[in-house]
Structure 1
Amino acid sequence: MALLVALDESEPGWAALEYALEEHADDGIIVAHVADPNRSGYGEFAHLGAEAMRERMREAAADLFDAAHARAADQGYEITTELLVGQPAPAIVEYALDHDVDRIAVGSHGRSGVSRVLLGSVAERIARRAPVPVTIVR
């Protein structure tokens, strides 16, 4: 079985990885991080330039992946990593469609109330659109 873990810098994101390592250690675990150029701060692209911003995103992803590999290795497991570019929910769903993923694990950010209704969450969008079962980890 191939399990795709959507990982960001949040605690729920790390909880999703821990869940995968504990519950699916015998499966192929793919850790994906999505670099979303639309999340940059106001004026960063204009100030730094597009290539510099892409390089910052690659460096941040490399650091995140190094930490993920270390956590997996501490528990005696290996993972593979993938850097995706785009909006997080569609990028994760598209990857799952294109790579024969059997399940997705994603952290929940615990949004509630108005922000959840107006913005939705990445986890909810993945769960609604994914072609495979999705486990949302708190």
Structure 2
Amino acid sequence: MYERILVPTDGSKVAEAAVEHAIDIAERYGADVHAIFVADTDAIAYGLGTEQVDRIRQGQFEGMTELREDAEEATGYVTDAAEAAGLTAYERHAGGQPHRLIADYAEDNDIDLVVIGSHGRSGVRRALLGSVTERVLRSTHVPVLVVDYEPDD
């Protein structure tokens, strides 16, 4: 049923909870796991020049050490978990509008399931879902599993 599972990640605890679910499902079906980190250029464009934003849109984070490290750590977490479970993993770093790039990646790579956290790193928990998660739900025809995270008290 599932051959390719996509996990959008920003490295947050909510994203890590989604990774656990994605790996569990991938193990059951022998699916490949795809991890994508998208730098939201709309959110960061104000502080950067046009050239830097264009590089980010192309997934080139050179010269932006913190962003590159965040991307590598976030997708590396997914890859490490997948490989520990004996699964094949793929990583993608990109820049642009997260919901569009996630939906495009899912379509371009014949993704069977997207497993995404209910909200991201922003620290603001919305009444229902984070804006990226909600937009992903509206932007793709691929089934989407939304995972929430409850911190231990």
Common topology (TM > 0.5): yes
Classify the secondary structure of the residue corresponding to 1:126: helix
**Is 1:86 aligned to residue 96 of structure 2?**
yes
Alignment of 1:92-103 (within 5 A): 92-103=102-113
Q: Give the structure 2 partner of residue 37 of structure 1.
A: 41
Classify the secondary structure of the residue corresponding to 2:145: strand
Alignment of 1:34-113 (within 5 A): 34-40=38-44, 43=47, 45-46=48-49, 50=52, 54-55=61-62, 56=64, 57-109=67-119, 110-112=125-127
**Is 1:15 aligned to residue 8 of structure 2?**
no
Stretches of structure 2 lacking an aligned partner (at least 5 in a row): 120-124, 149-153
User: What is the CA–CA distance in structure 2 between the aligned matches of 1:74 and 1:24, rounded to whole Å?
Assistant: 12
TM-score by length of 2: 0.72
Q: Tell me how large the CA RMSD over aligned residues is.
A: 2.5
Q: Which has more helix, going by share of residues?
A: 1
Opposite residue 132 of structure 1, the aligned amino acid is V
Stretches of structure 1 lacking an aligned partner (at least 5 in a row): none
Deviation for aligned residue 1:5? 0.7
Opposite residue 25 of structure 2, the aligned amino acid is E
Count of equivalent residues: 130
Opposite residue 98 of structure 1, the aligned amino acid is D
Classify the secondary structure of the residue corresponding to 1:40: helix
TM-score by length of 1: 0.79
Q: Give the structure 2 partner of residue 134 of structure 1.
A: 144
